[in-house]
């Protein structure tokens, strides 16, 4: 089943075109990696799919589970099963992780006509996910990402993904800021939460090191705002050896 289908997507920020006719199709059960040089449009793709204001789609279409993704508000995209892991997770002073995540989960459940989780049910779930990602449960009480190290923020993204349990995750440079142990923990988290026949992942990364832990089924090279090459896991190694310029040539 096709989860996500992008056709000829053009998008701009402040009048500057960043995505220039990008097409990509992702089926359930697949793990896709998008690699590319800085400025290729990788993060823009994530934000456009997430619906960040200011990222304007000028042409093309995106369907998610058969519906027009671009017609949905960002919170509706989340409720439909999409999760955007941020390259720089945002700090929110004054709102605790527990409150934030419970609001998020229950808003999504409400959108799907499911019963909200009680405080106790939610805490059990959140603590369980934190433990699996080796994050101290005390951090759940702290304001969202405030005072977290780069690695802690990324782990916190994974805890959120585990709690929310999306059908489709776009993970933007989830490997940046991680030491080798954290990389393994986060990689294991992605496999555990997202490797399923009814789920899919779009892994946006600059380097192949995360791909040692999360084996992609497809690797795409994004350059100049469009996909210039698609291959299997071996393409990541080729890119690492020869650089983007070499592969693109």
Partner 1 sequence: MTTAVLDLPSTRAEAWRWADLGALSAAAALGPVAADAADHFLDLPGARLLFVGGVLDVVRSDLVGVSIEPIAAGEHALGARAAGEGWVLRVGKQATAAPVQIVHVATGGENHLPSAIVLAEDASAQVVETYVGAGWSNRFLRVELGKAARLMRAVRIVQAAGFVSLREEAVLGEAANLVTTFLGAGAAGSRIDAQITIDGDAALAEYGGALLTAGTQQQECAVRVRHDAVGGQSHQLWRAVAADRSTASLAAAVEVARDAQKTDGEQSLRGLLLNRTATVNLKPELEIFADDVKCAHGATVGELDALALFYMQSRGIPTPRATALLTRAFVADALGRIADETVRDAFEADADAWLEAAL
CB of 107 to partner 1, least distance (A): 5
Q: Binding mask 41-60 vs partner 1 (x if CB under 8 A, - otherwise)?
A: ---------xxxx-------
Encoding tokens for residue 141?
A: 């009480």
Note whether 49 and 170 are within 8 A (CB): yes
Interaction of residue 105 with partner 1, rule CB under 8 A: yes
To partner 1, the closest distance from the beta carbon of 248 in angstroms equals 31
Does 107 bind partner 1 (CB under 8 A)? Our answer is yes
- Which H, E and C letters describe 27-63, residue by residue? ECCCEEEEECCCCCCHHHHHHHHHCCCCEEEEEEEEE
**Residue 204 CB, nearest distance to partner 1 (Å)?**
15
By the rule CB under 8 A, 92 interacts with partner 1: yes
To which H or E segment does residue 67 belong?
strand 67-68
CB 11 within 8 A of CB 17: yes
> For the chain, what's the residue count?
249
CB of 84 to partner 1, least distance (A): 5
Q: Binders of partner 1 among 139-198, rule CB under 8 A?
A: 160, 164
DSSP-derived 3-state class of residue 202:
strand
Would you tell me which residues interact with partner 1 (CB under 8 A)? 50-53, 73-75, 77-79, 83-84, 86, 89-95, 99-101, 103-105, 107-108, 111, 160, 164
């Amino acid at each position: 089943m096709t989860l996500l289908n992008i056709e000829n997507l053009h998008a701009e920020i402040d009048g500057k075109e960043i995505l220039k006719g990008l097409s990509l199709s992702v089926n359930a059960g697949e793990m896709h990696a998008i690699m590319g040089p800085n400025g290729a449009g990788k993060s823009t793709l994530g934000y456009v799919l997430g619906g960040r204001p200011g990222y304007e789609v000028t042409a093309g279409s995106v369907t998610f589970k058969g519906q027009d993704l671009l017609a949905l508000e960002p919170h509706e995209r989340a409720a439909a099963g999409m999760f955007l892991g941020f390259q720089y997770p945002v700090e929110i002073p004054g709102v605790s992780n527990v409150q934030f995540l419970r609001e998020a989960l229950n808003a999504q459940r409400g959108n799907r006509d499911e019963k909200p989780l009680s405080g106790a049910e939610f805490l059990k779930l959140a603590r369980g996910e934190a433990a699996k990602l080796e994050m101290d449960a005390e951090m759940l009480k702290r304001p969202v990402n405030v005072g977290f190290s780069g690695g802690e923020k990324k782990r916190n993204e994974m805890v959120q993904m585990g709690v929310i349990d999306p059908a489709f995750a776009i993970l933007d440079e989830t490997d940046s800021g991680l030491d080798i142990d954290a990389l393994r923990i986060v990689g294991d988290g992605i496999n555990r939460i997202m490797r399923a026949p009814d789920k899919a992942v779009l892994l946006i990364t600059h380097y192949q090191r995360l791909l040692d832990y999360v084996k992609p089924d497809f690797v795409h090279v994004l350059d100049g705002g469009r996909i210039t090459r698609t291959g299997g896991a071996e393409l990541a190694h080729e890119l690492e050896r020869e650089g983007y310029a070499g592969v693109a040539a």
